[in-house]
Structure 1
Amino acid sequence: MNHDIAEDTLLSPAPGTLASSTASSPPAGGLALDVPSMVTPRRAKPRAAHGAQTVRVAIVHDWLVTYAGAERVLEQIIACFPDADLFALVDFLDDRSFIRGKPVKTTFIQKLPKAKTKYRSYLPLMPLAIEQFDLSAYDVVISSSHAVAKGVLTGPDQVHVSYVHSPIRYAWDLQHQYLTESKLTRGPKSALARVILHYIRNWDVRTSNSVDSFVSNSAFIARRIRKVYQRDANVINPPVDVEAFALQEQKEDFYLTASRMVPYKKIDLIVEAFAKMPGRRLVVIGDGPEMEKIRAKAAPNVEIMGYQPFAVLRDRMRRAKAFVFAAEEDFGISVVEAQACGTPVIAYGKGGALETVRDLSDSRPTGIFFGEQTVDALIAAVDNFAAQPGRFVAADCRANAERFSAALFRERFFAHVCAMVPALQGATLPPYDPPHQGAAVNPGSSLRVLAVDQSGVLGGAELSLLEIVKALRARMDVVLFDDGPFRVALDLADVPVTVLDAGATRDMRKQGSAPPLGRALKSVGSLVRATAARARNNDVIYANTQRAMVIGVLAGKLARKPVVWHLRDIVSAEHFGRRQLQVIKWCARFGLAHVIANSGASARAFTELTKFDDARVDVVFNGISSAPFDALRDTPQSALRARLNLPGDAFLVGSFSRLARWKGQHLLLEAAVLNPRMHAVLVGSALFGEDAYEAELRSFVAQHGLTERVHFLGFQHDIAACMGAMDVVAHTSITPEPFGRVIVEAMLARRPVVAARAGGVTEIVRHGENGMLCEPGDAHALADTLAELNANRTLRDQLVVRGYQTATETFGTAAYVEGVERILKRVGTGGAGKALEAKAVRSAG
């Protein structure tokens, strides 16, 4: 990210300071400052996040002079807290759209001589300046810091969250590199620069103590924060506008690098390497102090374009066969932007690139690393890349880039701040209002979607679909094949819904049972015709369940509409009968345009079964709202237990699922036999012809004398209240679970989770950190783990804190809805999906 104070020189000359890459010593005693000119916040006006009108928020940024990496983060922080007041050392912005035209409170540095162009040279004064902000009127202070912003003064009743792009890199581990590059390795100027940097380091460490919570832009920077400040940091990757970069599969015969031409970017190394590879063409975009040095190294095969507008940069990124990146960067936004275009990356294997690029060790690589910042190492990497072009798929690059979307950043950062501020817990993320005026209208904004679901009950698939249709209700129609609580929930959400008569298809089961063929075909035909009639007024069919997918594929052919299946199952013999698996394979070949999988486990099982083009499979984790769980946070557990007629002083372990053998409720009962100190609570009913299993569970309870310690609660509407009444939530599936919605809900309810180590569960739970894992089907291991949690309150509390953090930051609703909507737009409007569809048809055939 372009935020280094010493990109041009360590300390550049300005009147009143040391000239020629030096700076004056720290101000002593008698320095006169125009302190009354400091602007203080208006105490009378409250500042708040949406839904928390009494919380006043201040945002502090280092300096506002351009729109680069750090400012992209600031833009999204402001979107999270649009009513916050903004502070910076200086403000010389021309384009103020990304800060939404906010007034900025600045420091005395703003008025110093030539501050607009030489603000960096006032580094020795910056610690003093940042400490002059009076932020006492605010409840929450958010600093966006790569230099001194985190050093603002806060009180004991204020919460200070600091998003650190990097500790002051030129003062810490990169000091010697910067002194060398600035030619300050010896002499009086070198001595003075070292004294100043020593002073900055001491101040930097001291002020870290005033930060309540650190957030870093990468695990690399989190390690740097741990090294420098001895503090842990939560990693929230910076936002990348991936939607501004369209996927392009056809690449041209040239390589691209683009960056500001400063020493640590190593553009000269890239140019020198390609000068020794005359058969390979390199395009260089960017400008900066090293331009002449780089031009001198360029050979005829290297085109130096200099500064170019964004449209030109984006065009070259889309067309390039690879993007070359040689810096040790904190994160590296350009690396993600290139992948958003479908362009693989050849990168130096250190720093943030290790977190944003998947190398050849991955089954779906998006780039290659080289281990040293040398010409020979880079040449070897380019040769390696060129030798295996088939390993890199444009759609894989795009999918990897989408992990770093701006929407996901907003959701994670907002959740993190809310978790730190009691008064904000329960607040909702404000709707995103793009700050840039005059932008083109999104071509997918008028997209019409027909959602199809087979069920009328409120299962996990239906609850997840409900989040989508509530968000897109203005552009979505819903068709159900059965009536029930799900239809009621849709009506309450004011979503248009039609219930069709499922007929004989209602008796079809995953494991292969089916009605007579004639009756089944008649019912299927009726559903297909009715669904196709409604699809003609929509752009895309969005099937939420397996039976709905089959009807949707046939209706899609009839209505000539693409079909997207939201896959919420692991399609294997453990979950589906042989006939159902054959139908899924046929549908994948015959008429599916795209698949959204709820976990990596679901996606892998589907592609292994169908050989479906994985470029048309995206993983979007289910999103679950924290609101109903947060609303009960202050409700005593005893009150919740009394409401449910549960014992007040027992150790309660809850199971939340429909009663089905593969869900493994019998394991929890076996664990109760082994652990006489626990009570088991079964929340859920037998929904799909599984009444015999429920009878088997009740018989087991009677035979083992568990009547007083096992509680059958049946179907419950208020899952948040039921979970709040538990001490532990157990997830006991004996076959791999495609996702595990219950696990995330338990984390939101702030209850520790014990889950089976299989399927999508392992993408949610990290053993011993945010939950506990047991081997599927092992009742003894389950009983032992529950006994450990019963005895160890400290462990339970640790799991609760980490679990809630995981649930809010990774499985929130905003990123989930945006991910699904983006795919529906892409498929429904043709766009990028056309080429992928053609490719898929070829591979399927």
Structure 2
Amino acid sequence: MNHDIVEEDLLRPTPVTRDAGRDLITTTPGAKPPAKRRGARSVGPVRVAIIHDWLVTYAGAERVLEQIVACFPEADIFSLVDFLDDRTFLRGKSVTTSFIQKLPKARTKYRSYLPLMPLAIEQLDVSAYDVVISSSHAVAKGVLTGPDQVHISYVHSPIRYAWDLQHQYLQQSKLTSGPKSALARMILHYMRNWDIRTSNSVDAFVANSEFISRRIHKVYQRDSEVIFPPVDVESFSLCEEKDDFYLTASRMVPYKKIDLIVEAFARMPERKLVVIGDGPDMQKVRAKATPNVQIMGYQPFNVLRDHMRRAKAFVFAAEEDFGISVVEAQACGTPVIAYGKGGALETVRDQYESHPTGIFFNEQTADSIIGAIEDFADDPTRFRPADCRANAERFSIRHFRERFFGFVRETVPALQGATLPVDEPPAKVSEPKPASSALRVLAIDQSGVMGGAELSLLEVVKALKARVQVVLFDDGPFRMALHREGVAVDVLDPGATRDIRKQGGTPPIAKAVKGVASLVRATVARARQSDVIYANTQRAMVIGAIAGRFAGRPVVWHLRDIVSPEHFGSKQLAIIKWCAKLGLAHVIANSAASARAFAELTSFGDKRIDVVFNGISAAPFSALRDTPQSVLRARLKLPQDAFLVGSFSRLAQWKGQHVLLEAMVLNPQMHAVLVGAPLFGEDAYEARLREFVASNGLQGRVHFLGFQDDVAACMCAVDVVAHTSITPEPFGRVIVEGMLARRPVVAARAGGVVEIIDDGVNGLMCTPGDAHALADTLAELRSDQALRDRLVAQGYQTAVRKFGTQAYVEGVERILATVANGV
């Protein structure tokens, strides 16, 4: 059957009436009654039941369910469980659930009840309905129906983990051997037998692709109608002008093969790739990335859509049942370079067809991807954006509704006089979002000082305001900032733990234990009112891990350090390893460098570590855009005509301010501006800096501004921002802030810095601790205005696109919700 052509007879509108008493679909009076089938009524109300496996989120299967409900808006809905927070796509309808809904931890561990699902689905009573429509990727098609009922099953796939993906499922679940493996194999064997037996009660199968249709035939020995899933192509607009980059976007799980795409582009340094998405494979992907590959992580829908519109091609290496993103890219007029298996064969027109929309590669290897990219690049004009858009429209929501309703109408005699209802769409659900509306978070931080970690936490709690309580282990400006945002804050007395330092300084053991116990007790009391503990600093993580154990709450640590001997003492590293085993459910790292160091120290699994770059607001810097630099310098008592190099961080040995001062000795025509103060017992280092200034005659050229509230004004007052850490920096917030201030940035090449700066493109990098190299780079910047302008333009673009606050906050919130829900 050619599915590109829709039969006019099937879709021609026919009048429909409704029974006023029951408001259900009825046949048109006077229409010729069809032949009865197994006792089905030819006139009168037709009651419809829709069965879905489980309702916990809004993803691909739920997009299909949404449109089935639109076809039959008066239908009743049944599901094993229903834990939806946002019900707009179901039009607010209630759902009848199974006994699994009330089992312990069903909200987060519903998949663990797989052995009970066949029994549970069979207990759903749909005997009062004339038509049963199941939306099934697991057990929904096994609902019990009688001889006078018509059962139509829209199959997203036969149970993958029980059939052809069993061995992959067992391997990923670490169930390849042992008693648990034997039990799992017995359960899956039972599931296969049950799955085949219940297929006999389905009157008509609908598959979401030819690929799944073949699976249905192989497993059930049944034919099926192919009706492609609905894609919201109207949310994507055609873009004729393309930028010079390729795009891939996906959840980073093994079968998506994102690492292969990145590996391929790493071998093509002249071609740019943008990667959007996150997941368990993020570290593997980042490890293979080269400067021409930009890893953006999770991004909101509008950012994804913008990149899909501007990309010269969308690269897709997975073997998918269907592949919605492939269609979405084409809806933007963007051609596709895809693995030639699975659903892509049905959604992409090959280069050898008329009006082609993409190219296929034959193997899931880097070499095969490279070959397809080179083939595409030879003549990209073969693929017209208008042809891509036209092809995508075959998979529109309207097309799905017409096809599916028409199929049901032809299958059910009593509906042959009915027409597709005029849709009154619910509020739009633009993309999957975590079920976080009811999320309650206890955020804990050890400091009252406004450091980089606290500024980043402030962005998160501002977004979660009504659902977060913050606990600090010290008072200070941070508490006031939180109060100004209307956030609930408690300050606990840290006792002797205040004297614990990264490099191993500790108070007497008895006092330390007493202080820890006091903080844990207070934290446990507050944690019991929350769903997840969010620890923002290392000392807070230790208290959180212990408190989470007692309170029975998962703990997420936002890791903002590189946990290595260069940054931490041996005792602190041992405590971190112990806490990782004791009570950490998940880690959010602020860079791949931080994530790697933590994984190496603790052997924490990649699936429990996510990289989310710090989000930094451009607003304070934009507000100063029209303020003359002379005004800012006068306010800060800085010289008007000097070439100023700014350093912005607390004064600490590892931050390397001494390297900048040594470079000032080599560059007598420059001034250094040091913004920051010693915070954690580092006053001796400040004294050494001032002594160096005095002994080298730098008094008139080095300006100690101390702690400053308005960092944006300080940055806009200088000519260059220098980041001089002598040990690897976990992230480098100052670098992004410098880019937002529209100042050229020079930074030490180590740690998270290399994930921000593309050397020579949006900033310059030097060897850590090398004062001569820093002096030479600063001299080059001073003499080359064109270079400064180019770095500023590219740097600002990088900061806004890659390190915006929206993507950062949404990424953290999504992880917290996922951990809280036990997913």
TM-score (norm 1): 0.53
Alignment correspondent of 1:632: 624
Matched, 1:307 2:234: no
Q: How many Å apart are 1:254 and its aligned residue?
A: 4.9
Alpha carbons of 1:691 and 1:305: their partners in 2 closer, same or farther (altered >3 Å)? farther
Q: How many Å apart are 1:704 and its aligned residue?
A: 0.3
Matched, 1:723 2:618: no
Alignment correspondent of 1:239: none
Q: Which amino acid aligns with 2:447?
A: S
Higher relative contact order (CA 8 A, sep 6+): 2
1:5-43 Cα shifts (integer Å, max 9, x gaps): xx969xx9xxxxxxxxxxxxxxxxxxxxxxxxxxxxxxx
Distance 1:476 1:763 in 2: 30
Q: How many Å apart are 1:713 and its aligned residue?
A: 0.2
Alignment correspondent of 1:177: none
Alignment correspondent of 1:336: 250
Distance 2:445 2:160 in 1: 34
Alignment correspondent of 2:795: 803
In the TM superposition, 1:184-199 aligns within 5 A as none
Matched, 1:764 2:767: no
Q: Which amino acid aligns with 2:524?
A: A
Q: Which amino acid aligns with 1:601?
A: A
Q: Which amino acid aligns with 2:453?
A: A
Distance 1:495 1:414 in 2: 39
Q: Is the 8 A contact 2:301 2:430 kept in 1?
A: no
Distance 2:259 2:719 in 1: 50
Matched, 1:593 2:585: yes
Q: Which amino acid aligns with 1:732?
A: T
Distance 2:452 2:431 in 1: 38
1:707-730 Cα shifts (integer Å, max 9, x gaps): 000000000000110000000000
Alpha carbons of 1:571 and 1:446: their partners in 2 closer, same or farther (altered >3 Å)? same
1:406-450 Cα shifts (integer Å, max 9, x gaps): 26537989999xxxxxxxxxxxxxxxx995269999643111000
Alignment correspondent of 2:574: 582
Alpha carbons of 1:354 and 1:665: their partners in 2 closer, same or farther (altered >3 Å)? closer
1:747-788 Cα shifts (integer Å, max 9, x gaps): 000000000000000000011100000000000000000000
Alpha carbons of 1:732 and 1:366: their partners in 2 closer, same or farther (altered >3 Å)? closer
In the TM superposition, 1:362-373 aligns within 5 A as none
1:110-167 Cα shifts (integer Å, max 9, x gaps): xxxxxxxxxxxxxxxxxxxxxxxxxxxxxxxxxxxxxxxxxxxxxxxxxxxxxxxxxx
In the alignment, structure 1 segments of 5+ residues that lack a partner are 1-6, 13-68, 73-96, 99-244, 256-282, 314-329, 368-399, 417-432, 833-845
SS at match of 1:445: coil
RMSD: 4.5
Matched, 1:532 2:427: no
Q: Which amino acid aligns with 1:743?
A: I
Alignment correspondent of 1:816: 808
SS at match of 1:593: strand
The equivalent position to 1:746 in structure 2, one of 738, 741, 748, is 738
Distance 2:670 2:260 in 1: 54
Alignment correspondent of 1:409: 304
1:180-210 Cα shifts (integer Å, max 9, x gaps): xxxxxxxxxxxxxxxxxxxxxxxxxxxxxxx
Q: How many Å apart are 1:530 and its aligned residue?
A: 0.3
Distance 1:793 1:254 in 2: 59
Distance 2:458 2:754 in 1: 25
Distance 2:494 2:284 in 1: 44
Alpha carbons of 1:354 and 1:455: their partners in 2 closer, same or farther (altered >3 Å)? closer
Q: Which amino acid aligns with 2:718?
A: M
Alignment correspondent of 1:187: none
Q: Is the 8 A contact 1:683 1:716 kept in 2?
A: yes
Q: How many Å apart are 1:403 and its aligned residue?
A: 3.6
Q: Which amino acid aligns with 1:630?
A: S
In the TM superposition, 1:686-725 aligns within 5 A as 686-725=678-717
Q: Which amino acid aligns with 1:307?
A: V
In the TM superposition, 1:113-512 aligns within 5 A as 252-254=163-165, 307-308=226-227, 310=229, 336=250, 403=298, 405-406=300-301, 408-409=303-304, 435-436=427-428, 443-512=435-504
Alignment correspondent of 2:188: none
In the TM superposition, 1:643-722 aligns within 5 A as 643-722=635-714
Distance 2:429 2:652 in 1: 53
Q: Is the 8 A contact 1:505 1:515 kept in 2?
A: yes
Distance 2:649 2:430 in 1: 49
1:272-317 Cα shifts (integer Å, max 9, x gaps): xxxxxxxxxxx996569xx9xx99xx9999998553464999xxxx
Q: Is the 8 A contact 1:736 1:759 kept in 2?
A: yes
Q: Is the 8 A contact 1:340 1:401 kept in 2?
A: no
1:645-703 Cα shifts (integer Å, max 9, x gaps): 00000000000000000000000000000000100000000111000000000000000
Distance 1:364 1:713 in 2: 39
Alignment correspondent of 1:386: none
Alignment correspondent of 1:36: none
SS at match of 1:510: coil
Q: Which amino acid aligns with 1:666?
A: H
Distance 1:682 1:824 in 2: 37
In the TM superposition, 1:33-48 aligns within 5 A as none
Alignment correspondent of 1:21: none
Q: Which amino acid aligns with 2:773?
A: A
Alpha carbons of 1:468 and 1:366: their partners in 2 closer, same or farther (altered >3 Å)? closer
Alpha carbons of 1:727 and 1:549: their partners in 2 closer, same or farther (altered >3 Å)? same
Alignment correspondent of 1:569: 561
The equivalent position to 1:522 in structure 2, one of 506, 509, 514, is 514
Mean Cα deviation higher: 551-560 or 344-353:
344-353
Distance 1:612 1:776 in 2: 29
SS at match of 1:701: helix
Distance 2:540 2:495 in 1: 14
Distance 1:413 1:750 in 2: 27
Q: Is the 8 A contact 1:407 1:818 kept in 2?
A: no
Alpha carbons of 1:720 and 1:252: their partners in 2 closer, same or farther (altered >3 Å)? farther
Alpha carbons of 1:414 and 1:562: their partners in 2 closer, same or farther (altered >3 Å)? farther
In the alignment, structure 2 segments of 5+ residues that lack a partner are 7-59, 64-87, 90-155, 167-204, 233-244, 287-294, 312-424
Number of equivalent positions: 498
Distance 2:431 2:769 in 1: 55
Q: Which amino acid aligns with 2:226?
A: Y
Alignment correspondent of 2:601: 609
Alpha carbons of 1:249 and 1:674: their partners in 2 closer, same or farther (altered >3 Å)? farther
Q: Is the 8 A contact 1:599 1:621 kept in 2?
A: yes
Q: Is the 8 A contact 2:434 2:818 kept in 1?
A: no
Distance 1:626 1:415 in 2: 24
Alpha carbons of 1:414 and 1:805: their partners in 2 closer, same or farther (altered >3 Å)? farther
1:67-92 Cα shifts (integer Å, max 9, x gaps): xx9xx9xxxxxxxxxxxxxxxxxxxx
Q: Is the 8 A contact 2:757 2:764 kept in 1?
A: yes
SS at match of 2:471: strand
Determine what percentage of the aligned residue pairs are the same residue.
Answer: 62
Q: Is the 8 A contact 2:298 2:811 kept in 1?
A: no
SS at match of 2:469: strand
Distance 1:441 1:691 in 2: 47
SS at match of 2:638: coil
Alpha carbons of 1:353 and 1:768: their partners in 2 closer, same or farther (altered >3 Å)? closer
Distance 1:729 1:572 in 2: 27
